[in-house]
Structure 1
Amino acid sequence: MLEPHGGRLVDRVLEGRSASELDDVPSITLTPPQFQEAVSIATGRLSPLEGFLNKNDFLKVVHDMTLEDGTTWPLPVVLDVDGEAASEIVPGERVRLDRPDGTPVGYIDAEEVYKHNKTETVKHVFGTDDDSHPGVRNYLDRDDFLVGGPISLFSEVRHGDYDLFPKETRVLFNHRNWDTVVGFQTRNAPHRAHEYIQKSALEQVDGLLVQPKIGAKKAGDYTDRTIIDAYGALIEHYYPHENVSLSVFPSKMRYAGPREAIFDALVRKNQGCTHFVVGRDHAGVKDFYDGFDAHTIFDEIDDIGIEPLFYNYSFYCTVCDGMVSQKICPHSDDEQIHPSGSKIREMIRSGTHPSEKMMRPEVADVIMDAEQPFVTADEGEEST
């Protein structure tokens, strides 16, 4: 099986430890996204990270997309705190980490407390400092100080029934004799183009891991529950069950375009995938990125040990009478029915059932029957 990124699957879970030993130390109450990142670090999803980034690693990631030791890493994973909290933390000492509800969940061995230049950071990470970009706005809203150092959690924390840790998906892939596995990242309920790409990718490998990103999203995105239930319906009715697995990646969306494509690929590498689908405008938003920036960035970095599978625009062609892509369909735009995610969401909001050429009826039924299929505020969701 493919090695985790950095050569070792990180495990920072200390079963059996008690929070009482940290009663007299400073504490940080994690936000829901920080909590998700702490869990992903501790369970190996973000290998080789063993904690939140120290200053040198942070600067290297922002400017060069590598850690200080040269390992490719595209996005800063940081723990931000305000000035009051920062003043109570002594570098070299242990700080308790609490869940968003205040329950102790682990600790960080604080090695550094440092300030970060948020405007400079967003220019490098997102390619813009325009605060109409949701990822930029979110980062600029962070507190001014960062705490770096390795973390440990008292126990594993699972975000719902579909949350499979890397050590578990690796066992699952071995059990199913999948030597090659393609990972598919999504923040949407599936339409026909998603299905076409996934099945095209599955033709090349032994298994498919569909792994929606669950967590904070922008207003108008599908809710976590809707995405999971919609994929459940698609897999039940249209996929070979022995070749497909549905899991989740608890994480906020950063909308960092090409950098997030690399990040998402590395997470699936740690899950045990050998291949990763990179479609059009991966993790993009509005027109901040070219549709294929997420493809070309893989030529600009060192080999990261997982093979990207690049896909072009996919659509239903009335002449071909099926789902196709630009690469294989010779017909005019007039014959193409594009299953645009924004168009489908508009139809659902208006009570119109999307055509079967755009979305499977079983999937559309799940969405239209949902009490609240869309995120109503930028704060997003903590878990499923």
Structure 2
Amino acid sequence: MTTKTTLITPYGGKLVDLLVPRDQLAERKAYAGTLPSVQISARALCDLELLAVGGFSPLDRFMGKADHERVVAEMRLANGAVFSMPIPLPVTLDDSIKLDTQIALRDSTYRLLAIMTVEEIYEWDADEVAQQVFGTLDRRHPIVSEMGSWGKHNISGKLEVLEIPPHYDFKPLRRTPTETRAILEDAGHANVVAFQTRNPLHRAHEELTKR
């Protein structure tokens, strides 16, 4: 029996879930502890969390070269799906990062986050990305400035996410896409409007969404 839903299909057709199942977690964490480690930035950590829970569906990994280049040039993934921002994992190459090997991704405190199977290593041009995506090379732009410190290569490959970062603020409001869809399904509304603000929600935003 097929259950009828009022919700639209997730973007790309399927909601991505990269979290290692609970019954496999201890074994995969123990294995990850034997792998070479790469520490990722706070920005990459945020991206990893969104990849893990499906917030970037249909992406299931940091972008490979084909996706990255087409998103920068046309705001589309290699398969043609609209995607407006590149989601790379820039690194400074060393002997631990090699094709067809596995690495452990860790945060700045060395917390174990994920296992990556390195399937692509490619160079990228910071000036090209800055101009195409942000429309400027001005280092006063915060992300353009930040990109100057990123590694000159991006890596991509299968991800097994072991842990997402803990959050201590706004806990009642934090929901994964799966949790959000369940809430909306239970509500049973025929239409749902999503509104993203450029800054923290304030009264004018509230009135705009209500009207």
- The interval holding the TM-score normalised by the smaller chain is 0.7 to 0.9
Task: Verify: 1:3 aligned to 2:9, yes or no.
Answer: yes
Check conservation: 2:113, 2:164, Cα contact below 8 A. Answer: no
2:151 partner amino acid: D
Q: What is residue 226 of structure 1 aligned with on the other side?
A: none
Give the CA RMSD over aligned residues.
1.7
Q: What is residue 35 of structure 1 aligned with on the other side?
A: 45
Check conservation: 2:39, 2:108, Cα contact below 8 A. Answer: yes
Deviation at 1:179, TM superposition (A): 2.5
Q: In structure 1, which of residues 106, 122, 125 is the aligned counterpart of residue 133 of structure 2?
A: 125
Check conservation: 1:28, 1:97, Cα contact below 8 A. Answer: yes
Q: What is residue 18 of structure 2 aligned with on the other side?
A: 12
> What is the TM-score when the length of structure 2 is the normalising length?
0.87
Q: In structure 2, which of residues 75, 97, 117 is the aligned counterpart of residue 65 of structure 1?
A: 75
Deviation at 1:131, TM superposition (A): 1.4
Distance 1:60 1:134 in 2: 23
Distance 1:163 1:100 in 2: 23
Q: What is residue 240 of structure 1 aligned with on the other side?
A: none
Structure 1 SS opposite 2:44: helix
**1:128-179 Cα shifts (integer Å, max 9, x gaps):** 1111222222223322111111212124555341220000000000111123
> Measured at CA, do residues 130 and 11 of structure 1 come closer, stay the same or move farther in structure 2, by a change above 3 Å?
same
Deviation at 1:193, TM superposition (A): 2.2
Distance 1:46 1:98 in 2: 20
Please, which runs of 5 or more residues in structure 1 have no aligned partner?
201-384
Task: Verify: 1:116 aligned to 2:124, yes or no.
Answer: yes
1:338-357 alignment, distance < 5 Å: none
Q: What is residue 96 of structure 1 aligned with on the other side?
A: 104
Distance 1:57 1:77 in 2: 9
> Measured at CA, do residues 189 and 157 of structure 1 come closer, stay the same or move farther in structure 2, by a change above 3 Å?
closer
Check conservation: 2:62, 2:87, Cα contact below 8 A. Answer: yes
1:74-85 alignment, distance < 5 Å: 74-84=84-94
2:29 partner amino acid: A
Distance 2:185 2:20 in 1: 26
Check conservation: 2:112, 2:163, Cα contact below 8 A. Answer: no
Deviation at 1:41, TM superposition (A): 0.3
2:157 partner amino acid: G
Task: Verify: 1:146 aligned to 2:157, yes or no.
Answer: no
Distance 1:137 1:166 in 2: 31
Structure 2 SS opposite 1:69: coil
Check conservation: 1:90, 1:110, Cα contact below 8 A. Answer: yes
Larger Rg: 1
Task: Verify: 1:107 aligned to 2:118, yes or no.
Answer: no
Check conservation: 2:121, 2:156, Cα contact below 8 A. Answer: yes
Task: Verify: 1:22 aligned to 2:32, yes or no.
Answer: yes
Q: What is residue 177 of structure 2 aligned with on the other side?
A: 166
**1:17-64 Cα shifts (integer Å, max 9, x gaps):** 232112332211122221111111011000011110111111111111
Deviation at 1:184, TM superposition (A): 2.0
> What is the TM-score when the length of structure 1 is the normalising length?
0.49
Structure 2 SS opposite 1:197: helix
Structure 1 SS opposite 2:114: strand
Q: What is residue 203 of structure 2 aligned with on the other side?
A: 192
Distance 2:58 2:202 in 1: 34
Point out which structure has higher relative CO (alpha carbons under 8 A, 6+ apart).
2
> Measured at CA, do residues 190 and 39 of structure 1 come closer, stay the same or move farther in structure 2, by a change above 3 Å?
closer
Q: What is residue 188 of structure 2 aligned with on the other side?
A: 177
Q: What is residue 313 of structure 1 aligned with on the other side?
A: none
1:4 partner amino acid: P
**1:66-125 Cα shifts (integer Å, max 9, x gaps):** 1111111111101111133xx421111111111331121211111111211100111110
Distance 1:92 1:20 in 2: 20
Check conservation: 2:197, 2:205, Cα contact below 8 A. Answer: no
Deviation at 1:189, TM superposition (A): 3.6
Runs of 4+ in 1 over 6 A off after TM superposition: none
Q: What is residue 3 of structure 2 aligned with on the other side?
A: none
1:173 partner amino acid: L
Structure 1 SS opposite 2:196: strand
Matched pairs, number: 198
**1:165-211 Cα shifts (integer Å, max 9, x gaps):** 000000000111123211122353444322221211xxxxxxxxxxx
